[in-house]
Amino acid sequence: MPPNNGDLFGLLAILFVLLTGLTFLLTRKEAKIAPPKEKAPREEQVVEVPKGPSWSERLSLGLSKSRSEVWGKLGALLTSSKLDDEQMEEMEEILYSSDLGPKTVHELMEALSSRKNKAEDFKEFLFNFLKEKIVGIQENIHPSLINFSPDEGGKPKVIMVVGVNGVGKTTTIGKLATKFTSQGAKVIVAAGDTFRAAAVDQLAVWCDRAGAEMIRAKEGSSPSGVGYQALEKAISINADYCILDTAGRMHNKGNLMEELKKSKDVLKKLDPDAPWQVLLVIDAVTGQNAIRQAEEFNKALGLTGLIFTKCDGSSKAGAAIPIVQNLKVPITYIGVGESVDDLNPFVTDDYLKALLDY
């Protein structure tokens, strides 16, 4: 029976679909399929880690008590271009309370008297006057006490650190050891405060953090013996620095000062030039009283440098100037806090700018 029209149209429709599908498949083989677009690289976001305060900011903050209680009062007077007699008297009173010392105050008042009727920047004058008093002495700091130089080589540089009780001597030694090891130096530390177990334990923590080796002895044993052992070890391993902690001797105790002299002299059996440096740690709170203290240590041991600590807790940071003047010994480091970064080389300009808010 012949197919009807409906069947014919159905067959034609099926045939059309098949032909269309076949054509599509054949065409697809020849077609070039474009690769998928690569996603644009995601832009990395740079997260800025907040920086801590700079050294100049920490120094300024650390000296703020001295600045506000003493030098800030001077600043109020020094804003005028000329000074009258009443202002001069007021300035003299303030200066005598600043721990500059009578000699320096007298010289400063004489210099100001000859200029009081001149229009000039008195704060600038004060900055230059005080700088002149100590800058020549401050130039005597040995560079290797600040920056380790691996090219120097040779024998260990022996640093003997002394001071009375409570000035922060042990902490200061820990900070110095950390600074040197962070520069690549090999450091040996002698725990010479043998009469205080707590001091030895505290120093051990600092040395562990710094990567410095500590030599200790039994509690109550001879401090000079510990120093000898430390230097012996430093020489044997070719260390760069050998730092000696000492007991917190009171400067007016003669027998104790003799013990320090013995600790110094015994080092010469191993190295005739030892110690390379003898540094006295001074608490800023002591003020001018530190001059007498420092004179006794200098007489007994021959000081080569000073370390001025705890300036952040004192209004007597100005005492650094008469101390340097009287002893003719430079301040090597200044401390304004507890962290390692709070102990830094003493730079005259930075110190005076922070002190005077100049």
Asked if 149 and 194 count as a contact pair (C-beta separation under 8 A), the reply is no
Over 144-212, what HEC string results? HHCCCCCCCCCCCEEEEEECCCCCCHHHHHHHHHHHHHHCCCCEEEECCCCCCHHHHHHHHHHHHHHCC
Which of 69-83, 136-150, 228-242 has the weakest average pLDDT? Answer: 69-83
d(CA 343, CA 179): 9
Angle at 300 between CA 299 and CA 302, to 5 degrees: 70
**Can you give the pLDDT at residue 13?**
59
- Could you give the CA distance from residue 157 to residue 217 in angstroms, rounded to a whole number? 21
Domains of the chain with bracketed CATH: 143-303 (3.40.50.300)
Segment 44-96, tens digit of pLDDT:
444 444 567 888 888 888 888 888 877 777 767 766 666 778 888 888 888 88
The burial class, CB within 10 Å (0-12 / 13-18 / 19+), for 67 is: buried
Read off φ and ψ for residue 260, nearest 5 degrees.
-65, -40
What span, in angstroms and rounded, lies between the C-alpha atoms of 195 and 173? Answer: 17
Backbone angles phi, psi at 168, to 5 degrees: 95, 30
Say what the pLDDT of residue 228 is: 94
At residue 119, the pLDDT reads: 47
> Any residues with CB less than 8 A from the CB of 333 and at least 6 apart, and which?
172, 176, 307, 308, 343, 344, 345, 346
CA distance 322 to 326: 6
Q: Between residues 136 and 66, which one has the greater pLDDT?
A: 136
The pLDDT value recorded for residue 4 is 57
Model confidence over 187-211: pLDDT tens digits?
A: 999 999 887 888 899 999 999 999 9
Query: Percentage of the chain with pLDDT > 70?
Result: 79
Arithmetic mean of pLDDT, 3-21: 59
Lowest mean pLDDT among 76-80, 124-128, 143-147: 76-80
- One-letter amino acid for residue 288 of the chain: Q
Q: What is the pLDDT of residue 239?
A: 97
**Cα–Cα distance between 180 and 210 in angstroms, integer?**
9
How many other β-carbons are positioned within 10 Å of the β-carbon of residue 302? 12
CA dihedral 167, 171, 175, 181 (to 10 degrees): 130
Q: What is the mean pLDDT of residues 24-48?
A: 49
For residues 20-29, one letter each, b for 16 or more C-beta atoms within 10 angstroms of the residue's C-beta and e for the rest, the string is: eeeeeeeeee
Listed range (187-191, 241-245, 308-312) with the worst mean pLDDT: 308-312
pLDDT interval class at 31 (50, 70, 90): very low
Query: How much is the pLDDT for 21?
Result: 57
Number of H helices, E strands in the chain: 14, 8
Question: Which residues make Cβ contacts (< 8 Å) with residue 243, sequence separation at least 6?
Answer: 159, 161, 173, 176, 177, 187, 188, 189, 190
The band of 120, judged by pLDDT with boundaries at 50, 70 and 90, is low
Better-scored residue on pLDDT, 25 or 84: 84
pLDDT of 235 reads: 97
Q: Over 90: is that where the pLDDT of 305 sits?
A: yes
pLDDT at 230: 96
pLDDT for residue 161 is more than 60: yes
Tokens (6 digits) for 23: 């054509």
